[in-house]
Chains A and B, each alone.
Chain A
C-alpha cells in the first residue's frame, strides 16, 4: 500500500511535468490536441494526488506505524479527529496536503474555463502545474510521507499536544485554502503577461478567486488568533510571531489588490500595479511557507522544521525573476489611458489606501527579517517582538481606518466643496459625537481613543450609504424600507458587500484597541476558599479536580465567579499533562459577554501545600473581533454572489458546452 502511495506521488509528478510541457508546446505551436492533452494530464495528476492523500489517511487511521510519518505524528490513543488532522500536522503530510488543494483548484479552474479564456488557459495550466510540480518534487525527493521505518514502531510518538485542539481541524485547512487559491489569480496574471492579453479579461475571470483566497486568508488569520487565545493562555490572541506575520502579509497585499482592481475596472488605471499585487500575494504565500518550514527565523509555530528552506528560497527567486521580467517585457502593453483628475477623488483615496496596506505589509516583512539582517551585518542576534510591531503598525492601522471612511463616499474623478460637504457632514458628525462621548467617559487620548473615534466616522459613512440608497429607492419606486434596503444591496452586491465587510473590520479594530489598551491582569496565589478580584469580578478558588485517561491527565481549578453578591459562573481553568510526548499544556476557562471576556489561566498547583496560582484577565470587547470576522464573512458572501447577468453568462457557457459535447 505504501509503495502504491509513493508510486501515485511519483506518477503525479510526471503527469504535472507533462502538463507543463504539453501546455507550453501546444500554445506555442498552436496545437489544440497538445493543449487538451495537458489539461487531461492535470486531471490525471489530481486523481493520483487524491489517491496518495487517501492512502496516507488510511495509514493514519489504521495506525500503520511502519510508516515514519504515521509513527511521528499519531498514536493509538490519539482521538480520531486529530488522527485525521495529523494529515497536515507534519512536514511531509502538509506538503502533500498543499499539493492536494492545488490540484483540486486547478481542476476546478479547468472545468470552469472549458469554453472560456481559451487563449489564456494553456499558460494558466502550465503555471499551476509548475507550482504543483515544485510541491510534488519536494514530496517525492525530500519529504516523503510514505517513507518506511526499518522496523515498524510499536507505538507512535503522537501529535504535538498544542496541536491537539479542535482548531487544528479548522485553522490550517482555512489558511491553506487561502494560500493555495492565491495561485489561481497568479496563474491568470502570468498567462495574461505571456499572451499579451493584458486587458480586464483575466481580472474579471479571477475576481471571485481573489475574493475566495482573501476570504480564506481572513478566516485563517482569525481562526489562528482564536486558537492562540484559547490555547496559549497568555491572555492575548496575536503575538506577531514570524509565522503569524507570514499569514498576515499576503492578506494585506490581497486586500490592496481587491481595492485597486476596482480602479482598473472603472477607470482603466493601475494595470502594472495590479499585476504586481497579484504576483506579490502569491510570492508572499510561498515566503510564508518558507518561514514555517525553514527554521531560518525562530518561531513558536515552526512545529516542523527542516532543510527545505533553500528550495523555497530558490523557487521564490524564480517566481520573482520570471514574473518581474515578464512585467518589464510587457510594460508598453500595460500602460493605460485612464488618468487621475484631482487629489480629492476616490481614485486618489484608493491609491493612499494601497500605499498604507502595502506599507504595513512591508513594515511587517521588515520586522520579520530584520533579526536575520542584523545577524548578517553585525553578527549580533536580536529580537523583533510585539512591542516593535505594535508601535509601528498602530499608527499605520489607524490611518488606514480613517481612509476606510473616506474612500467609499468621496466622489470619483473630482470632489467639489459642495459634494464633499454632502458626503462627509454626517460621518464627521458621527466621529465627533463619538469623540465627545469618549471624552465624557474618561477614555484617555491615545491609539484606542482614535480607533474608536475613527470607527464612529467610518460607521457614519457606511450607515449613510445604506440610508441614502434605501431612501432613493423608497422615493422613486415607492418601496417599503426593508424591500428597498434588500434591493439596494441586491442590485449592487459588490459595493454593499464591501460596506458590510468594512463594518466587520471596524468591529475588529475596536475589539483589538479595547482589549490591548484596557486589559486588566491579576495574578494571585490562593488556597481553597481564598478570593481574588479582577475588574468587577470576585473569584473564589473552591478546589482542585483531577481526572485521567490513557492519553492525558487533567488538573482543573474550580473557580466561582461573582459580580457583587450574585454568583454568575463556575469556571475551571486546566493544566493538562499529555503522556506522549510528555508535555504540559494550558486550557483556558473563559466567560464571554459582548462587554468583555473573563479569562482564567491555571498557572501552577502545588500538591504539597494545595496552593494554586491563578492568572485572571479581563479583556474588554474582545468578542467583537470574532463578531467582526463573522460580519466580514457575511459581507464576502454578499459581494461574491453572482448577479443575474453573471448567472445568465454561466448558463450560456453551460449550453455552449453541452452543444459542443453533443457535436
Chain B
C-alpha cells in the first residue's frame, strides 16, 4: 500500500504526458486568449490572432536559449497570471494544488481511525445474543416453556 502511494506520488510530480517537446510543453502551459478556452497548443482557430503569434514567440525564445520557466514568466508579466493554464505552486495558488490531496488524506486518515476503532470494538464485544424477535412470539415461547415445566 505504501509502495503504491509512493508510486502515485511520483506520478503527481512528473508530467502526465510522456515525450512532449519543450515547445509543446510551453504551449500547453499557456491559455489562448482568443476566447476558445483551450491551451495555446490546442487552439486551432484559423490564423488565431492570439495563439499563432504566441506559438511563434515561444519558438523564437526557445531558439534563443530561454528555458520554459523564463518564457512562462515573461508571458505572465505581459498578460497577467490568467494566461498560465494552471496555477503556480506559490503563495495562495499553492492551496489549489495541495487542498485536494490534503482533504483526501485527512478523510482517509479519519476513515482509517474510524475503521480501526470499529474493528477493535467488534473484536472485544461479546458474541451478540440471538435476536429477541417478536415480543408476542417471545411471550408465547415463555408461556409454553412454563407449561412444559408445569407438565414436567
Chain A residues close to B by CB (< 8 Å)? 232-236, 239, 241, 298-300, 339-343, 348, 351-352, 355-356, 359, 362-363, 366-367, 370, 374, 377-378, 380-388, 390-392, 394-396, 398-399, 402, 444, 446-448, 450, 516-519, 521, 575, 584, 586, 601, 603-604, 615
Q: Which chain A residues lie closer than 8 Å to B12 at the CB level?
A: 391-392, 394-395
Q: Are B18 and A386 in contact (CB under 8 A)?
A: no
Given contacts A374-B93, A386-B28, contact A586 B44 (CB under 8 A): yes
Q: Are B17 and A234 in contact (CB under 8 A)?
A: no
Q: Are B47 and A385 in contact (CB under 8 A)?
A: no
Q: Are A355 and B104 in contact (CB under 8 A)?
A: yes
How many B residues, CB 8 Å from partner?
A: 52
| One of B2-10, B62-70, B135-143 contacting the partner | B2-10
| Residues 99-139 (chain B) with a chain A CB within 8 angstroms | 99-101, 103-104, 107-108, 111, 115-116, 118-119, 121-122
CB distance from B98 to the nearest CB of A (A): 10
Docked pose: A359 CA to B106 CA in angstroms: 11
A355's contact among B101, B108, B122, by CB below 8 Å, is which? B108
CB distance from B24 to the nearest CB of A (A): 8
Residue with the greatest number of chain A CB neighbours at <10 A, chosen from B19, B47, B87: B87
Docked pose: A355 CA to B15 CA in angstroms: 25
Q: Which chain B residues lie closer than 8 Å to A299 at the CB level?
A: 37
CB distance from A620 to the nearest CB of B (A): 12
Q: Which chain A residues lie closer than 8 Å to B84 at the CB level?
A: 382-383
Q: Are A363 and B100 in contact (CB under 8 A)?
A: yes
CB distance from B91 to the nearest CB of A (A): 8
Q: Is there a chain A Cβ closer than 8 Å to B96's Cβ?
A: yes
Residue of B nearest to A584 (CB): B46
CB distance from A609 to the nearest CB of B (A): 14
Docked pose: A629 CA to B100 CA in angstroms: 28
Docked pose: A392 CA to B46 CA in angstroms: 32
Q: Are B18 and A398 in contact (CB under 8 A)?
A: no
Docked pose: A604 CA to B36 CA in angstroms: 17
| Nearest 4 interchain pairs by C-beta | A363-B100, A385-B85, A388-B86, A300-B37
Q: Are B86 and A450 in contact (CB under 8 A)?
A: no
Residue with the greatest number of chain A CB neighbours at <10 A, chosen from B17, B29, B36, B103: B17
Q: Known pairs A339-B122, A399-B8, A517-B17. 16 more at Cβ < 8 A? A: A299-B37, A340-B119, A359-B104, A359-B107, A381-B81, A383-B82, A383-B85, A385-B85, A390-B16, A391-B15, A395-B9, A395-B12, A398-B11, A402-B4, A517-B18, A604-B46
Residue of A nearest to B76 (CB): A382
Residue with the greatest number of chain A CB neighbours at <10 A, chosen from B8, B29, B47: B8
- Chain B, 23-55, contact with A by CB distance < 8 Å: what is the 0/1 string? 010001101000011110011101100000000
Residue of A nearest to B115 (CB): A340
Q: Are A391 and B16 in contact (CB under 8 A)?
A: yes
Q: Are B99 and A366 in contact (CB under 8 A)?
A: yes
Q: Which chain B residues lie closer than 8 Å to A604 at the CB level?
A: 46-47
List 29 A-B residue pairs with CB atoms under 8 Å apart, sorted by A's residue number.
A233-B44, A234-B38, A235-B42, A300-B38, A340-B119, A341-B122, A343-B119, A355-B104, A359-B104, A363-B104, A366-B99, A380-B81, A382-B93, A384-B86, A385-B31, A385-B85, A386-B85, A388-B86, A390-B16, A390-B17, A391-B15, A392-B97, A394-B11, A395-B12, A399-B8, A402-B4, A446-B18, A521-B24, A604-B47
